[in-house]
Structure 1
Amino acid sequence: MPVSWQRKLNMESNNAFIKLQESANGRVSVKLQKNQFAKDGAESFYGRVERYTYSTQNILDAMADAIPLVDLGTVASVLNAYAGTVLKVLSAGNAVKFGELGIFYIAGKGSVDNENGKPKLTVKFSATQTLKDAVQNVEIAASEYAAPSGLVTSVTDVATGKSDGNLSASSSVLVEGSSLKVGGEDSGIWFAPVAESGIISSDESKWTKIETALIYNLPSKLLFALPQELESGKYKIVVRTRYAGKSGYERKYLVEAISETVTVA
């Protein structure tokens, strides 16, 4: 490695890492959600910070600006080599100190059913106080309550493999998105008729519910057969669920996800 590169990194004998620099305070947005496990019925909320992720290219550009005497290709090579070395050291069963930021370490995941069992392993990160301090002055630019909701991102006709909004009668349908797994009282999947204006019929007695067993019933994926009695027409698929994750906890309220308009023909 060239001497000039070592100088620019300001390497220390014990951790050899880029020295952290002070930067302007950033801003984030926070979505508040109700804490369903609050004690004694007291109302409280927890915040989820909306994540904006720097890409590898963003990081490379920022590093190139910080060390202008080194070309971008060299920066990329060093970054890739560092990542590869971290993976190699972790796969050998070791923890890895990540400079002034923290430590990657191997931890047990989940439980086992006997004293001789072997738990699954995962990787965790323990942040240093330096890293924790770095975010203390980040400004919360917006904080608002967001009721939990599901999301339908695509509806695919399994017979044709197309996600163009057209469904073949008596075919199977793949619905993808998030928070879709059906579970709990009053949950289910319905085809709700859509008027010319694009509005769903408010008369739920006219909705057609999927009564057959679901082939896939996952948080991100639902697969089921169209009911034979479903007439040709325009619909929106409505998913309602109380499922709240692997904990088995059932929400006190229904989470709803609604698709774009689909045409059954």
Structure 2
Amino acid sequence: MALRYGLILNHLTDDPDDYMGLVTDNETITTEQIVERMIGKGSTVTKAEALSVIEEFNYAIVDAVANGNNVNTELFKVYPSLSGVFANEQDAFDKNRHSIRLNLNAGKRLSEAISNIELRKVEVITPQPVIQRFSDLKTKTINESFSPGQIASLKGVLLKFDEEDDKQGVFFIAVDGTETRVSNLVKNKPSELLFFVPESLTAGTFQIEVRSIFKNYKSMRVGRLLIDLTPVS
């Protein structure tokens, strides 16, 4: 198998003719499929045993992170950080103004795997919104945080949607799956959306989606920015 990618117009540069690569239509491998690969290579470990060990490994990682530790394995590195503004040196963490973020980076073995990835260029046939950048216009941060009640910007491709359709639009998706739709839109263009972030989003971690039904299509198209965003005061 190869990593499939296509090219789409790049609206983040000043050159109207350049393109950017978009990874597309690649299979997602689940834990069970990983285990099937393990035992398929002739391992003496049974599927039940492998799943049990993986569950214990996951539990140990979660427990270590919950205790405030950094985690460094051959596959990945996890470390916590804080977001939000502290008023002065005497200020302290306040969950209404600050958030804990988890940062995840590839470990040594995953980083080495990059050089072995084969690429296959394909045509991007199915149109969908592509979010390339989220900007908090108050704090000037990019792909990091947002200010509730303030204006934010999404830049990308095919972002425009029908404002009269409640099923379309910009949605903030919480970790538990709760969805909050943006109701106050300032600009609705294919390459950029400007909107006021809902004031209710004062705590938690969110990802952002754009949902749209394109002309001559019946089904909903969805584009998500796969970066965790946190609120700041």
TM-score, length basis structure 2: 0.52
- Flag structure 2 segments of 5+ consecutive residues without an equivalent: 130-156, 173-178, 182-187, 196-211, 220-233
Structure 1 residue aligned with 2:120 = 141
Q: How does 1:74-223 map to 2 (within 5 A)?
A: 74-98=49-73, 100-109=74-83, 111-112=84-85, 114-115=87-88, 116=91, 118=93, 119-145=98-124, 148-149=127-128, 187-189=162-164, 217-219=169-171
Query: In the TM superposition, what whole-angstrom CA distance separates every residue of 1:94-129 from its partner, at most 9, and x where no partner exists?
Result: 11122x2231222335x4374547431222222134
- C-alpha distance in structure 2 between counterparts of 1:104 and 1:245, whole Å: 32
- C-alpha distance in structure 2 between counterparts of 1:112 and 1:39, whole Å: 33
Structure 2 residue aligned with 1:194 = none
Closer, same or farther: CA 84–243 of 1 in aligned 2, 3 Å: farther
- Flag structure 1 segments of 5+ consecutive residues without an equivalent: 1-25, 151-178, 190-209, 224-240, 249-254, 261-265
1:50 aligned onto 2:25: yes
1:29 aligned onto 2:29: no
Q: Which has the larger radius of gyration?
A: 1
Structure 1 residue aligned with 2:132 = none
Using the TM superposition, give the Cα deviation of residue 51 of structure 1 relative to its aligned residue in structure 2, in angstroms.
3.3
**Contact 1:97–1:104 under 8 Å retained in 2:** yes
**Contact 2:128–2:158 under 8 Å retained in 1:** no
Query: In the TM superposition, what whole-angstrom CA distance separates every residue of 1:59-112 from its partner, at most 9, and x where no partner exists?
Result: 1212223462222221111111100111111111111122x2231222335x43
- C-alpha distance in structure 2 between counterparts of 1:133 and 1:126, whole Å: 13
**Contact 1:180–1:219 under 8 Å retained in 2:** no
Structure 1 residue aligned with 2:218 = 259
Q: Which amino acid aligns with 1:74?
A: E
Structure 1 residue aligned with 2:36 = 61
Using the TM superposition, give the Cα deviation of residue 42 of structure 1 relative to its aligned residue in structure 2, in angstroms.
5.7
Q: What secondary structure sits across from 1:108 in the alignment?
A: strand
Q: Which amino acid aligns with 1:126?
A: N
Q: What secondary structure sits across from 1:45 in the alignment?
A: strand
- C-alpha distance in structure 1 between counterparts of 2:13 and 2:125, whole Å: 17
Q: What secondary structure sits across from 2:218 in the alignment?
A: strand
1:242 aligned onto 2:182: no
Q: What secondary structure sits across from 1:107 in the alignment?
A: strand
Using the TM superposition, give the Cα deviation of residue 256 of structure 1 relative to its aligned residue in structure 2, in angstroms.
4.7
Using the TM superposition, give the Cα deviation of residue 243 of structure 1 relative to its aligned residue in structure 2, in angstroms.
6.8
Q: Which amino acid aligns with 1:112?
A: V
- C-alpha distance in structure 2 between counterparts of 1:39 and 1:117, whole Å: 42
**Contact 2:6–2:23 under 8 Å retained in 1:** yes
- C-alpha distance in structure 2 between counterparts of 1:113 and 1:215, whole Å: 37
Closer, same or farther: CA 120–132 of 1 in aligned 2, 3 Å: same
Using the TM superposition, give the Cα deviation of residue 246 of structure 1 relative to its aligned residue in structure 2, in angstroms.
7.9
Q: What secondary structure sits across from 1:135 in the alignment?
A: helix
Closer, same or farther: CA 106–113 of 1 in aligned 2, 3 Å: closer
Closer, same or farther: CA 216–69 of 1 in aligned 2, 3 Å: closer
Higher RCO (Cα < 8 Å, 6 or more apart): 2
Aligned positions, number:
159
